[in-house]
Structure 1
């Protein structure tokens, strides 16, 4: 009878896989010896495997360029990175090695762009697409970037007032895009996205506010749906509706030459993950090409804004099982040395699932368990895999440490979890390391951030300031007493 953990994985999934290999009884990820990583840096631990970022960018570029050549598509493809997925410098530095462009969401994104420009990582030839609802600081920062000579900064209009606000601050003529407010799936709590301008309002908006405005040129139409790029009737229907708007605009707006289909490529969330990226890209290019050909309009340049797809599969979290609690006849709780709420907030907030595997003891017998975090919050748990209604791990043994890894956690988790700030129940943010390849192709590691300390938390909470205030108060009391 096959009762070992390795038997379970091999019977359930196609294993090993490209990024997951087994060496003796320990897991490797992209050739990284995870047990060696644990021995060097301890747990809990977060890591970013930087080469995966470049790999995914190059994969997407290849898919789009192949489809463009296949369909004799006359437009060009531009890959943009959606910075909100991860703003870290090491992520942007790696992504920008691949001749890409940037999509921003808020005011401080522009400060990041300017910082990268100052060190030569971004040039005026690269597109900076500015999405999101724009007021005050964001408008001023966009204007500053364009006024400094970055003509390829394209604010994507989200509401009717933004053109006037931008015009007041931008000194020269400038290009804009318009975001379509897509209709949501029936299961959503609202019918239409709060972002962008409704389908029926876009052409009238162009005629009334842009067509005869000598300062503004419409260059781009932006399309995005929350469920992402998936082979569903809903996605293809929304894309066709977007193309109808593009064609209607193109016929009266010769400067319109680009279609931004947003982001939404899924990332691997299970060892059973199956998504035909090449087919989806080919079909998107085919649909756009066909619609434009039938309407006798020039097909647009294609922009994408991949965030999670760019950075998600580069990240991982490693924990140690500290203890097992047998709470009843059926439920065994493996308690880990961190918190799921703080280190993987999407697992708590939107029930997102990541790839979870044991790192060591693959040749031991397995058992069904629940995973619990260290906070005293009942929601701090992880109880199922994406494709299974349970979690199985090597049996807990007090004298044989067990380590587990969560993979493809690189998008959003740090920003949503409040990296470097307060954490629920003051559970410290783990040590974060970067893994990259040197010029010889060998893997190297460096510490990006140490685990938070009590001093870090006390400082954020104001306790150090309180000590200073107490000192000042005593001095004031003393002076007052002498005066009297």
Structure 2
């Protein structure tokens, strides 16, 4: 009987895979020697593998290039990065090396845009697509960017008052988009997205607020589905309704020339992950073209706003199994030396799955376990209910340290977890490493942030501010 962990994985999945390989029975991720990383920097440890960001951007560009050629599509494709997925400078710097554009969500995003422009990372002709509900500071920052001459800053109108608020502060004529309030799947707690303007209200809104307004030019219709871009009847039905709105708008608004289909490409969350990206892109491009041909209007330029897809697969987290607790005759708890709530908050908040694999001891026998975090919170765990299938790891042995990795964690986890701030139960935030690749293929590492210490947290809490 094959009882080694390696046998389990190789019998269950196609393994090794493009990014996961074994070297001397230890896991490598994109050629990174993970045990060497642990030996050098310790654990718990967060890391970002920067080249993966550029790789995914260029994969998507290639899929759209192929689809445009296949269908003889006359519009252009523009890749935007959704900054809310990760605002870090190292992420934006890497992403902007690939001739892309930016999508923002709030006021301080514009401050980042200004920094990127000043450093020469973001060129003056780049699109800055401004989404979100716009409060006073966001309105002012958008106006500043436009008044400075960044003509391709396009605020996406989310509610009926935003045009008036923007026009009060913007000096010259400016371009806008309008966001469709898409209808959610039947299983959702509500029927229509809180974001945007309803399907039936968009043309009347245009006629009332835009059509005869010499300061405003409508250029873009924005469409996003909360469940992402998936090959389902629901997605194709919503896309079809969006295209009908585009057709109706285009007939009364010749300046409309762009369709923003938002983000939503899934990322790999298990070794069994399958998704035909090229098929989905090709079919989206084809559906847009066929609809426009049917109603005899020009096809739009296509924009996407990929966030998780851009940065998600670049990230990882490594923990050490500290101890095993046998709580009853069936449940064994492997305790990690950190907290899921603070370092991978989506596992706790929305039961999100990530690829989880041991770093070492692949030739050891395995056992079924539950994974627990260090906080005194009953929800600080990652188990079979959240992970769909049971968790198996090499058997716990006190004398043989076991390290485990969670992969493709690069989107949202740091910002949701409150990077640089307080952590639940004051469990310190781990050290974070940036990994890059030289032209000759050599991997380089540097520390982005050290693990938090007591002084960091006490300062935030105010204990030393009066000294």
TM bucket (normalised to shorter chain) is over 0.9
What corresponds to 2:464 in structure 1? 464
Give the distance between the partners of 1:65 and 1:451, measured in 2 at CA. 43
- Which residue does the alignment assign to 1:413? 413
Residue 190 in structure 1 maps to residue 207 in structure 2: no
Say yes or no: does 1:16 pair with 2:5: no
Supply the distance in 2 between the matched residues of 1:385 and 1:410 (Cα, whole angstroms).
Answer: 23
| SS of the residue 2:384 aligns to | coil
User: Aligned residue for 1:54?
Assistant: 54
Report the Cα offset of residue 385 of structure 1. Answer: 8.2
Aligned to 2:2: 2
Give the match's secondary structure for 1:463.
Answer: coil
Kept in 2, the 8 Å contact 1:355–1:385? The answer is: no
Cross-structure match for 2:438 = 438
Whole-Å Cα distance in 1 between the matches of residues 71 and 386 of structure 2?
36
* Structure 1 residue aligned with 2:295: 295
Cα offset, 1:384, TM superposition:
2.7
Cα 1:162–1:97 shift into 2, 3 Å:
same
Structure 2 portions without partners, runs of 5+: none
Q: How far apart, CA to CA, are the structure 1 residues paired with 2:8 and 2:64?
A: 38
Q: Alpha-carbon deviation of 1:24?
A: 1.3
- 1:449 maps to which residue? 449
Q: Report how far residue 255 of structure 1 moved.
A: 0.3
Deviation at 1:265, TM superposition (A): 0.1
SS at match of 2:464: helix
Q: Secondary structure at the match of 1:92?
A: helix
Equivalent in the alignment of 1:167: 167
Rounded Cα–Cα distance in structure 1 between residues aligned with 2:369 and 2:114: 49
| Alignment partners' CA distance in 1, 2:386 and 2:93 | 32
SS at match of 1:249: helix
Determine if the alignment matches structure 1 residue 249 to structure 2 residue 249. yes
Helix, strand or coil for the counterpart of 2:75? coil
User: Do 1:434 and 1:447's aligned partners in 2 also have CA atoms closer than 8 Å?
Assistant: yes
SS at match of 2:239: helix
- Give the Cα–Cα distance (whole angstroms) in 2 for the partners of residues 443 and 389 of structure 1: 34
Please list, as runs of the form range in 1=range in 2, the aligned pairs for 1:62-461 lying within 5 A after superposition.
Answer: 62-384=62-384, 388-461=388-461
Of 69-78 and 386-395, more deviation after overlay is shown by: 386-395
RMSD between aligned residues: 0.8
SS in 2 for 1:39: helix
CA drift at 1:386: 7.4
Q: Under a length normalisation based on structure 1, what TM-score does the superposition of the two structures give?
A: 0.96
Could you say if the C-alpha distance between residues 23 and 385 of structure 1 is closer, same or farther in structure 2, counting changes exceeding 3 Å? farther
CA contact (8 A) 1:133 1:159 kept: yes
Contact 1:270 1:387 in 2 (8 A): no
Per-residue CA deviations over 1:427-480 (Å, capped at 9, x if unaligned) read 000000000012322100000000001000000000012x43xxxxxxxxxxxx
Secondary structure of the corresponding residue to residue 102 of structure 2: strand
How far is 1:171 from its partner? 0.4
- Radius of gyration: which is bigger? 1
Q: Is the 8 A contact 2:435 2:444 kept in 1?
A: yes
Q: Distance in 2 between matches of 1:387 and 1:368?
A: 13
What's 1:33 paired with?
Answer: 33
Q: 5+ unaligned residues in a row in structure 1: which ranges?
A: 469-484
Shift of 1:389: 2.3
**Alignment partners' CA distance in 2, 1:251 and 1:131:** 25
Q: Secondary structure at the match of 2:150?
A: coil
2: distance between equivalents of 1:88 and 1:384? 32
Helix, strand or coil at the partner of 1:140: helix
Q: Say how many residue pairs are matched.
A: 467
Structure 2 Cα separation of the partners of residues 295 and 387 of structure 1: 46
Q: Which consecutive aligned stretches of 4+ in structure 1 deviate over 6 angstroms post-superposition?
A: none
TM-score normalised by the chain length of structure 2? 0.99
Deviation at 1:388, TM superposition (A): 4.6
Distance 2:297 2:132 in 1: 29
Q: In structure 2, how many angstroms separate the alpha carbons of the residues matched to 1:261 and 1:385?
A: 33
Alpha-carbon distance between aligned partners in 1 of 2:378 and 2:9, rounded to the nearest angstrom: 29
Query: Does the residue aligned with 1:422 lie in a helix, a strand or coil?
Result: coil
Answer yes or no: is the 8 Å Cα contact 1:261–1:304 preserved in 2.
Answer: yes
Contact 1:21 1:27 in 2 (8 A): yes
Return the alpha-carbon distance in structure 1 between the equivalents of residues 210 and 388 of structure 2.
Answer: 52
